[in-house]
Amino acid sequence: MLYTIIQIIAFQTLFLLVYDLFLRRETFFNYNRTYLLLTSVLSLVLPFVKFPKLKKITTNDVVIQLPEVFIGTKVPTANEIFIAEQAGIIIEQPQTPIWQSIALFGIALAALIFLFKIGKLYVLKFRNPKRWQGNVLIVKLIKSSAAFSFFNTIFLGERIPERERPIIYKHELVHIKELHTLDLLFFEVLRIILWFNPLLNIYQNRIKELHEYIADAKALKQNGKVEYYQSLLNQVFDVKNVSFTNTFFKKSLIKKRIAMLQKSKSKQRQLIKYTLLLPLVFGMLIYTSTEVRAQVKSVVEQEINSDFSNVESYTPTSIQVKPKVKQNVNQELTDAELIKKYYNELVAMKKNGASFLEIAKYADIGTENSEKYLLSKGEFLKSKAFMQYVVEHMSARKSEKGTLTTEDFQTFEKLTFDKHKTYLDYRAWKKTDEAKEHWESYSRDGVLRLFVKEIGNQSAEEKELFDRLLKQLENDDYEKIIMTDGKSTFVVNDYKSPEQNEVIESIEVPFSVVEEVPTLVECKDLMSNVDRKDCMNQFVNKHVNKNFNTSLADSLSSGRKRIFIQFKIDTLGYVKAIKARGPSKVLEEEAKRVIKTLPQFTPGKQKGKLVVVPYSLPIVFQVAGTNSTETKVSLEELVAQRDRVLKNSSEDNPVVIRLNRQIEAVKKNKSVNDKVDELTKYLKEELNKTQKDSIQLQNIPFSVVKVAPVHPDCKTLTDEEQRKCTTSKVNMHVNKNFNTNLANELDIRGRQEIFIAFTINKEGYVTDVKARAPHKELEAEAIRVIKKLPQFIPGKHDGENVDVPFSIPVTFQVNNTKKN
């Protein structure tokens, strides 16, 4: 609140400075009146207006708020009072802060003064004779020479000479017709609420000054200047000191009024001064939109040691070090109370019309938290609340359909069961080798993960493993490396080794973009490159499934396992440079063995020339649990074994009893698995539904989008011709504008290739331009050229404008002759 008040006073100061320096001496009285009224309102509104897009104009600062330090007695929070009451402890209720008491007292006193002034006016009105003249009530003040107006009432002193009364009447009549009393009452109300703000007195004085100028200017048209001046100078100033009345005789204003009457009319070009308001308001909006207020108190858990000795020999282009921050989330509540609180918030979001995707995003499901090693307490408890919400939502839906059974209740209970009942249990599990192995192996495509004992002090083995990951990152198939020790996180988004900056005679083109993919003889005759890609993928997948020895994974912990394989198909069609990353060395070697058995392929081509094609393949398989013997035996085998025993025995036989128990356990597990499949199906349906309703969130590639973006020179052609024409126009634009002499200036020789990627957004503008080249200056030149492309006709998918990614390779030959 205090910060908002300071902003209001600061904004009013700036508005008044502009008025006094540039506008006050101009004769645009009505414009000035509008300015004062408008800026007084803006000063109250702007502190609460925030435009997130304006935040991009300024640099984003990182603000870390330290823990609170209480001086004196800490005021108990509402949660502390509630918990104490439940425990039977009497705790002192929080008192109203002293500043609130002072503010309320000031408002009450200012309101009493205002009511006193109103009372004085009505006493004058009822104690003095009065008469109506049209819609105006004229009150004759006995033994007074005052003259002022209030709404439609004009107060005239009986001592005012008869010859001057018509002039004064016309003057006060202008105040009534122009509703000047409303202006003064508006500022009077502001003075009551913000009684401590002296700038409102200045505002009110400026507006009263303008009222007199406006009334003088209109009254002067009906009377001569000399006569009007005489009426101003010849009066005895018996003025009622009421701040919200328009007074004809006021000593401090008469000199200014006469000076303004003598001033020549301002020229129209002076109106340009009012445009000063635009940059002033825009600057205030930037300030209010970029202010940072900490919503969650946080402390830095550990400082990062940035001395990565194993990275010094490399030149990563984008490295981020993220300190792990521990959030202080509702420390007064238990885990169970917080889960209930988050669950209620999810239910409230559903009632307010939030989509399933929005609810999942609020619960931090499917966000960047999937890459975190250790979730915060709030994130962990939100995920548990989300699972409870999903299960109860499914239960309600089944109940409405009349398909809810007792077995469903048992299944839902098992689905919501978590071996980490509390956040402390979860943190303890994260310290185990099982958790570390699970985090490394559970990785999405394009992200490599590594857990180390201590960032900045890695062992020789950890450094060697990190070097291997850096080498993998050099290829386009991987986006980044995430390394963590559970406390701090080290992220490498891009990496180039010194060798990569040298000219490479053998060009590599990723499998996803190469014009003619490597393939088999039986796939070579297929019509399209897409069909040949599918044929190649199916063959590799079948080959791995057929030859991979999955029994090698039996020694691993149960759960889903992944092995990432990468290899290259050279210009002769042979497989080389095989790399594998998996949960164990044995599985990595097995993956390499299987890939080495692949046959010779027909090599890939780009622009009619043979090229090396990198290929990546994730292998995913499920390792069954080793602790439960019941799950290893099929239901049919158990039933058959029990029937064989029953032929020569009875139901009371201990062997039969044990077999019956095993059969029941297998049935229950099968039921749970069925319900898990049902839950997965439900989640997919919800997400698919949300994705269909929110197609604007998707990026549709140029080759897939139904209506591709169109270059302005190609809009008269057919759809297929427009695609070819747009691609041709982009190529011509690059050929025409790219500075090929730059390679000579950088002393780069041989064949050079630049990969450029950008997005044509929903408005048709080029955004997110990126380039990969042997030299930074070549990348900068490529980005400069692409940014000069004109506005396109945006692409459409299912009738909606969408963002369309576009990529283009730039290849040129630099002669080997050196410059003199």
Residue 299 has pLDDT above 90, yes or no: no
* Greatest mean pLDDT among 15-24, 72-81, 393-402, 484-493: 15-24
Residue 70 has pLDDT above 50, yes or no: no
CA distance 217 to 260: 9
State the DSSP string of 142-165: TT---EEEETTEEEEETTS-GGGH
CA distance 358 to 348: 12
Torsion of CA 489, 494, 500, 501, to 10 degrees: -120
Q: Give me the mean pLDDT over the 394-419 stretch.
A: 67
Q: What is the DSSP letter of 475?
A: S
pLDDT higher at 676 or 757: 757
In this structure, the strands spanning 130-133 and 766-772 are unpaired
Residue 820 has pLDDT above 50, yes or no: no
* Greatest mean pLDDT among 473-482, 544-553, 656-665, 752-761: 752-761
Structure-token pair, residue 345 = 């918030």
Which pLDDT belongs to residue 626? Answer: 45
What percent of the chain is modeled with pLDDT above 70? 68
Q: pLDDT confidence of 792, banded at 50, 70, 90?
A: very high
CA distance 431 to 438: 12
Tell me the angle at which helices 635-647 and 654-693 cross, rounded to the nearest 10 degrees. Answer: 160
Residue 577 has pLDDT above 70, yes or no: yes
The average confidence (pLDDT) of the chain is: 75
Q: pLDDT of 23-57, one tens digit each?
A: 988 888 899 999 999 999 999 999 888 876 666 55
Give, rounded to a whole angstrom, the gap between the first and last alpha carbons of the chain: 71
Tell me the angle at which helices 335-351 and 377-401 cross, rounded to the nearest 10 degrees. Answer: 50
CA distance 352 to 342: 15
CA distance 52 to 290: 8
Q: Give me the mean pLDDT over the 805-811 stretch.
A: 81
Which pLDDT belongs to residue 194? Answer: 92
In this structure, the strands spanning 298-300 and 246-247 are unpaired
Structure-token pair, residue 694 = 């929110």
Residue 760 has pLDDT above 50, yes or no: yes
Residue 95 has pLDDT above 80, yes or no: no
CA distance 364 to 338: 15
Q: pLDDT confidence of 435, banded at 50, 70, 90?
A: confident
pLDDT higher at 698 or 348: 348
Say which residue the tokens 């039933």 belong to.
639
CA distance 397 to 415: 17
Closest to 148 in 3D by CA, of 32, 238, 217, 40: 238
Name which of 337-341, 442-446, 550-554, 595-599 the model is least confident about.
Answer: 442-446
Which pLDDT belongs to residue 68? Answer: 45
Q: Give me the mean pLDDT over the 428-449 stretch.
A: 70
Say which residue the tokens 């002067």 belong to.
220
Q: Give me the mean pLDDT over the 104-114 stretch.
A: 92
Residue 65 burial by Cβ neighbours in a 10 Å radius (0-12, 13-18, 19+): middle
Name which of 110-124, 291-305, 413-427 the model is least confident about.
Answer: 291-305
Structure-token pair, residue 157 = 């002193």
Residue 14 has pLDDT above 70, yes or no: yes
Residue 159 burial by Cβ neighbours in a 10 Å radius (0-12, 13-18, 19+): middle
Q: pLDDT confidence of 319, banded at 50, 70, 90?
A: very low
Residue 159 has pLDDT above 50, yes or no: yes
In this structure, the strands spanning 153-157 and 136-141 are parallel
Structure-token pair, residue 143 = 């033994």
CA angle 469, 473, 478 (to 5 degrees): 115
Rounded to the nearest 5 percent, the helix, strand and coil shares of the chain are: 50, 15, 35
* Greatest mean pLDDT among 414-423, 485-494, 693-702: 485-494
Beta strand ranges found along 470-518 (DSSP E): 480-484, 488-494
Three-state DSSP class for 211? helix
Q: Class assignment of domain 503-627?
A: alpha beta
Q: pLDDT confidence of 332, banded at 50, 70, 90?
A: low
Name which of 54-68, 203-217, 305-319, 803-817 the model is least confident about.
Answer: 305-319
Asked whether this chain's domains 503-627 and 712-814 adopt the same fold, the reply is no
Residues in the chain: 820
Q: What is the DSSP letter of 17?
A: H
CA distance 485 to 451: 6
* Greatest mean pLDDT among 235-249, 306-320, 715-729: 715-729
- Name the β-bridge partners of 754: 810
Q: pLDDT confidence of 193, banded at 50, 70, 90?
A: very high
Residue 672 has pLDDT above 70, yes or no: no
pLDDT higher at 779 or 697: 779
Residue 112 has pLDDT above 90, yes or no: yes
Please report, as a single letter, which amino acid is at residue 792: F
Q: Three-state secondary structure along 719-787?
A: HHHHHHHHHHHHHHHHHHHCCCHHHHHCCCCEEEEEEEEEEECCCCCEEEEEEECCCHHHHHHHHHHHH
Q: Where are the domains of the chain?
A: 2-64+271-290, 98-263, 298-494, 503-627, 628-693, 712-814
Q: Three-state secondary structure along 561-625?
A: EEEEEEEEECCCCCEEEEEEECCCHHHHHHHHHHHHCCCCCECEEECCEEEEEEEEEEEEEEECC
Name which of 108-117, 563-572, 610-619, 698-707 the model is least confident about.
Answer: 698-707
Q: Give me the mean pLDDT over the 328-333 stretch.
A: 55
Say which residue the tokens 């490396």 belong to.
481
Q: pLDDT confidence of 245, banded at 50, 70, 90?
A: low
Which of these CATH numbers, 3.30.2420, 3.30.420, 3.40.50, 1.10.10, describes 712-814? Answer: 3.30.2420
Q: pLDDT of 541-561, one tens digit each?
A: 888 888 888 777 666 666 667
CA distance 635 to 654: 19
Q: Answer yes or no: are the C-beta atoms of 742 and 805 closer than 8 Å.
A: no
Q: Give me the mean pLDDT over the 256-262 stretch.
A: 76
Residue 267 has pLDDT above 80, yes or no: yes
pLDDT higher at 329 or 231: 231
Please report, as a single letter, which amino acid is at residue 375: L
Which pLDDT belongs to residue 503? Answer: 37
Structure-token pair, residue 441 = 């192996």
What lies within 8 Å, CB to CB, of 405 at 6+ separation is none
In a 13 Å sphere around the CA of 331, the CA atoms on its Cβ side amount to 8
Closest to 10 in 3D by CA, of 289, 294, 283: 283
Q: pLDDT confidence of 766, banded at 50, 70, 90?
A: very high
Q: pLDDT confidence of 223, banded at 50, 70, 90?
A: low
Q: Answer yes or no: are the C-beta atoms of 810 and 753 closer than 8 Å.
A: yes
Which pLDDT belongs to residue 427? Answer: 78
Residues 37-62 as b/e (b if ≥16 CB within 10 A, e otherwise) read bebbebbbebbeeeeeeeeeeeeeee
CA distance 650 to 667: 22
* Greatest mean pLDDT among 206-220, 480-494, 645-659: 206-220
Q: Give me the mean pLDDT over the 468-490 stretch.
A: 70
What percent of the chain is modeled with pLDDT above 90? 15
CA distance 663 to 650: 17
Q: pLDDT confidence of 457, banded at 50, 70, 90?
A: confident
Residue 499 has pLDDT above 70, yes or no: no
Q: pLDDT of 622-653, one tens digit each?
A: 666 544 443 444 577 777 777 776 777 777 76
Q: Give me the mean pLDDT over the 6-29 stretch.
A: 91
What lies within 8 Å, CB to CB, of 60 at 6+ separation is none
Which pLDDT belongs to residue 58? Answer: 56
Closest to 578 in 3D by CA, of 471, 437, 495: 471
In this structure, the strands spanning 447-451 and 480-484 are parallel
CA distance 308 to 457: 8
Residue 737 has pLDDT above 70, yes or no: yes
Q: Give me the mean pLDDT over the 107-123 stretch.
A: 92
- Name the β-bridge partners of 805: 759
Q: pLDDT confidence of 679, banded at 50, 70, 90?
A: low
- Type and span of the H or E element at 39: helix 29-45
pLDDT higher at 247 or 5: 5
CA distance 791 to 710: 9
